[in-house]
Structures are given as structure tokens and as C-alpha cells.
Amino acid sequence: ALVTSTEMFKKAYEGGYAVGAFNVNNMEIIQGIVDAAEQEQAPLILQVSAGARKYANPVYLRKLVEAAIEVTGLDICLHLDHGLDFDICKSCVDTGFTSVMIDGSMHPFEENIALTKQIVEYAHDHGVVVEAELGKLAGIEDAVVVSDPDATFTDPNEAAEFVQRTGCDSLAITIGTSHGAFKFKDEPRLDFERLYTISDLLPGYPLVLHGASSVPKEFVDLCNQYGGRIPGAQGVPEDMLRKAAKSGVCKINIDTDLRLAMTASIRKVFVENPEYFDPRQYLGPGRMAIKAMVAHKIKNVLDCSNKR
């Protein structure tokens, strides 16, 4: 069924693992992810960004997710990723999403609280859960080496106050991860000290890690080998994510690694088979690459196989 993340997070917290939240933009991406979750009998969050809504039309995405549930019988949480205002969150609540993120992290503390409270009130009235964000997501370079981590990373005391005053159901925190394929210029580093402090102040409470792709070297190399050009790409090492998943982090967001897997496999098909022009000949392998990537995450990073 289409479910909220409430039960998933409760079990993840207690079990010391994390649920994967994967970004979806089309049918093949959804099928690849869902096939992996079904194979691994894993809990699953599919998330739709504003960009995905614009690209695919939210109705198509929702119907595809409904189809996935009908075909597999899995429990899936359908989540809005990075909602920036009340209207987009309301629109998702009104059209069958079971979870929305209000990302007020760019606003001052009090404004973030006011905005988040407004969405929490509307969403909870409709049985929908809310993820909020506190702290500015940036690379370790900008945040720690160059400037002051306290300026951008989530302040633990503020996090506790924020959750208490807004009633949000989960909180995205910033400890050094960032979106995209270029997360660190030098050694990858996350502020685990800060994560544990936040978690200690919010016992039992589910935290969320955005920007958590690992940007596996083999896929970057594969892209580059078959005509791509993405030099210097670097992500969060898997051992750090495994460590985070054991803590209060219950949701780990992954988009970039799906993009890399799909693109690498399609580039390879094109180079090796210049005679192909049927989209199924490359979208099929693209879908398989997504499935393999997600199965790998479920087994080796999130540790949520057989936890559905």
C-alpha cells in the first residue's frame, strides 16, 4: 500500500539501519528501484522533486508509483523532496503523497519554524507526515575547511528546539554532505560528533541525510570511458553511510548514484552498439543498472534487506 514513513522510521531507528529514499523521474527509474526493493524485501521511499514534477508531470509519477504497488504488493512511501513553499506541499498532500518535505533551511531560524509549522498543521490534518530541514547543505570545503562549520552545519540545540516547536516528523540535518557528484575536494569528512550530539538530544527521533550518494569510482570511470566527462567527481564513502545508518539517521537520500548508473550503462550500450535505435535497447539496460545500484545500497549501505 501507499504508506507514510512513520512505521518505517520506527523500525529503522530500533533496528539500527536506514531506509533508502530514491529520486524518481520516469518509468524506468521507478521500475529499477522497485524491482530491487521487491527482490530485497526492503522498505522504500520514492521521492519526487520540484524538477521531477516539472519534467514528468506529477500525475504520471503518482500513477506509476501506484502501478508499482499494484504489481509488487510492496509498501511504498511517496514523498515530496525539497518542497520550498506551502503551495507545493499542499498540492502534494491534496494529490495522494504520504509525506512531504518543507525545506525552509535557507530562511532564518524563526521563519523556518513558522513555515514548517504551517505545513505540519495542514499535512497532519490530512494524515501526511512532514520532513523539515535545519542547516545549510554545503560541501566540507566551504563548510569546514574554508569557513566555520557552526555557520552552516545544524546546531544541535536549535535542532531540538526546532523539532519541539514545529512538530515535524523527521529532520534533515547537515553534517558535511551535499547534493551532486562533487562533494569533497580533498578527504571526505562528516561531522559525526555533531550527528551524535543531535541524536542524543532527540532520542527516538528519525534524522535524515541528504546528499548521500557515494559517487562510486567505477561508475564515474565507466561514464568517462564511454565518452563522458565528469572529472573530479567524489561522494560520501560507503563506510561513513553505514556508520550513519546505525545512528538516529533513518532516511538516506540517493539521486546522483542512480543518474550515474543509468548514464554509464546507456553510454556503454551506445558505444558498443552503434546500430541500436530502439529506446528499449538502452533504457532496458539503464533500468537494470538502477536495479543493481539500489540492491547494492539496500544490502551493503542501508542494511535494510528483509525489513519490509
* Residues at the interface with Zn ion (CB under 5 A): 210
Residue 70: is it exposed, middle or buried by C-beta count within 10 angstroms (0-12/13-18/19+)? exposed
Is the Cβ of residue 128 or residue 261 nearer to ligand 13P in the bound state?
Answer: 261
Residue 57 interacts with ligand G3H (CB under 6 A): yes or no? no
- Pairwise CA distance, residues 124 & 119, whole Å: 8
179 near ligand 13P (CB under 6 A)? yes
User: Is 303 known to sit in a ligand binding site?
Assistant: no
What would the grid cell of residue 240 be? 561513513
> Residue 135: exposed, middle, or buried by beta-carbon count in 10 A (0-12, 13-18, 19+)?
buried
Is residue 78 at the binding interface for ligand 13P, with CB under 6 A as the rule? Answer: no
Cell triple for 129: 507526515
Q: How far is the CB of 210 from Zn ion (least distance, A)?
A: 3
CA gap 233, 213 in Å, rounded: 11
Q: Which does 49 bind (CB under 5 to 8 A by kind): Zn ion, Na ion, ligand G3H, none?
A: ligand G3H
Residues 70-89 that bind ligand G3H (CB under 6 A): 81-82
Least distance between ligand 13P and beta carbon 280 (Å):
26
Residue 212 interacting entry, from ligand 13P, Na ion, ligand G3H, none, C-beta within 5 to 8 Å by type:
ligand 13P
Confirm whether residue 213 is marked as ligand binding: yes
Is 212 part of any known ligand binding site? yes
**CB of 2 vs ligand 13P, minimal distance in Å:** 20
Task: Pick what 255 binds: Zn ion, Na ion, ligand 13P, none; C-beta below 5 to 8 Å, kind-dependent.
Answer: ligand 13P
| Residue bearing cell 539496460 | 285
Q: How far apart are CA 217 and CA 264, in angstroms?
A: 11
Distance in Å, CB of 27 to ligand 13P, minimum: 20
Q: Give yes or no for a contact between 252 and 20, defined as CB atoms under 8 angstroms apart.
A: yes
Q: Whole-angstrom Cα distance, residue 176 to residue 144?
A: 8
Among 4, 5, 23, 98, binds ligand G3H (CB under 6 A): 23
Instruction: From residue 34, give the alpha-carbon distance in Å to each of 4, 172, 290, 307.
Output: 17, 24, 10, 15
**Quick one: which of 52, 113, 209, 252 contacts ligand G3H (CB under 6 A)?**
52
Q: Does 255 carry a binding-site annotation?
A: yes
CA dist., res. 60 & res. 255, Å (int): 19
Give the separation between CA 278 and CA 292, rounded to whole angstroms: 22
Q: Do 177 and 237 touch, CB atoms closer than 8 A?
A: no
Kindly write out the interface string for residues 196-215 of this chain, putting x where it contacts ligand 13P by CB under 6 A and - elsewhere: --------------xxxx--
| Residue 217: φ, ψ to 5° | -55, -35
We find the least distance from the C-beta atom of residue 185 to ligand 13P, in angstroms, to be: 16
Q: Which of 35, 75, 81, 200 is catalytic?
A: 81
Query: What is the residue whose three cell numbers read 504520504?
Result: 98
Q: Which of residues 176-205 bind ligand G3H (CB under 6 A)?
A: 179
- Examine the residue annotation and report whether 303 is marked as an active-site residue of this protein: no
Grid cell digits, residue 137 = 547543505
The contact set with ligand 13P (CB under 6 A) reads 23, 81-82, 179-180, 210-213, 253-257
Detail the residues annotated as belonging to a binding site for dihydroxyacetone phosphate. Answer: 180, 211-213, 253-256
The contact set with ligand G3H (CB under 6 A) reads 23, 49, 51-52, 81-82, 179, 255
Catalytic residue IDs:
81
Detail the residues annotated as belonging to a binding site for Zn(2+). Answer: 82, 103, 133, 179, 210
